Structure 1
């Protein structure tokens, strides 16, 4: 009989393995020595241990699926329980128990990871849906359209959720895109209608502009073109090709009119420039009337200047205010001289001036008398007050006397 710590072979060649529950028959050996029998069954044990080692490596070092790992573990556990091998089978069983715990932990971790990933995916898709629903009401057609397409690409790159959740979120996402597309389509349909209407309006404006292009009624026609331009701007834009063609015609009609007007105005400006020179020379004559020494002669000279002034005609617009101002200065000087002459010859005004002078003279004389009394009495306060009043009345008297002298002049 032969034996080792984990097994033995009896005289009949029966091979036993020792376990915690006692010995168990694992086979029979008749072809050689007991030592060879034990070595054979020990090699079977080592093979079983190697398989367990391989599974440990796959579980700990690779991404072996938990279900596959559990299946392999259950198979090896059955082999260990019924193993026809000699060795520490309990140690192998403990290794499998440890591995079972690791597989279970791996399952829990992966389940948590899947749940976390699902939560993150749900959050990401809900954010995409919320943004898409916000964009659905946007009128920034290009930017919002580009962004929605980018959101679709992002959605496609995300994992699927459970069917119900994923379908519900996709329905909202797709609905938001449909709403945006519907609004955009309606907007551009309305825009096309507006452009068609703008085209019709501008065709009418072009016809009116072309009809006016040969007019020589410069003022009214220029105003009409300004009105047509205001209507053009208010009409909105037609489609680009129609807009460009209509604008070229509209602008061309204006150019015909304004170029003709410019030629006429250039000729007129030359004539008005000559008129300006004539009026400047005439102004020198008018300004020579001043200062006025003979009112009657001055008025006659001014009448003659005015007659020649009106006969000369128009001058350039920018020169007119300055020329008129110089002539008006002469006219104003003559009017003032006439007013002064009338005032000197007005008996009522002269009487009022004389009366006012007499009143002021009486007041001054009285103040002077009161002042002498106050000085004699030594009343300094009253002296000071009377001096102030006297100065004021004397100034008024001086002015009244001067006015009275003008009436006598």
Structure 2
């Protein structure tokens, strides 16, 4: 009986694909205002956020300066073109110029960022004073023209003042901005109710009543609600961007620290002249894998030959092995034997670092290292001899502390050798040569 031959290799189309990542947007709180406030407090960033907020408000204040000057000039231009009473135009010109200068002067103190950051009340006080200057200017001008020229009592800056409070003035607190805007709305509503008695537009009994007043109240209420919503959304976006920036800086700091730790670890294993090309090779492989369209597919394993070999013509090698190591393996447990070797080789590594000798590796009871490998040193032989003397002292200390019959055989040779990395699946640094 014959069975049909099956192909054991799967088609690329039948490979197992990665499962999509499902997010529950119903429970996502990343853009909630309360969550962002809690996150800032949790990370102890509230004070830093306040400084960041002051900088943004100062930049917004610069935009307000330009808009406020343009608005004042626009009013003056319209009055010059369409108002026939030049005495009234002159009065408006003087009042607007004086008011504009006073408002801009009062708010200019906020450009001293360090000062207002230490004294937050200055921002609030300057904002309140500038707002009431604008409101007072508006009411004084329309009242003057009502009694002097019989003009109707129509306010001009009520909506602008509310926009000014919620969008431009440096008021850090949303509640503070809402209270200031509410007080301005109450002033304008009260003035509007007072003007109904005198304004000729509302002398008709059909037009006079609570419907007109309620319309004005609802107008101010709706605009205040819109302003509060704007401040909440603006604070949410600013906090989110601030936390994102903080996370980016922290991750960059962690990455730099990780790279430094990686470099220190690699330099402790390999000489710097070997470690650098290894790092560059690994980075190039990562870049190639990221740019490959099949980086998420489990395809056949590909290997690349990597070999970094260097010739060192003038170095010294120190080779040491433990005497009575075989006896120790029969008398000590595996755990105690490992502890002894760890203690001994740890002392050797510290001494090798002090004498600028590169440890290559250790195999069981064998320990060997090279001087003049990392950086050329004419005293490489002296360094190895000094290290050997230090190793004798270290093993005497271990023998006395642990009560073991242990000793070292140490040999030092000078000459040339080859050093580098070989291997495919697992890279290995080693040395080769004939020293004599």
Q: TM tier, shorter chain?
A: under 0.3
Question: TM-score normalized by structure 1?
Answer: 0.22
- Work out which structure has the larger RCO, using CA pairs closer than 8 Å and 6 or more positions apart in sequence: 2
Give the strand-richer structure, 1 or 2: 2
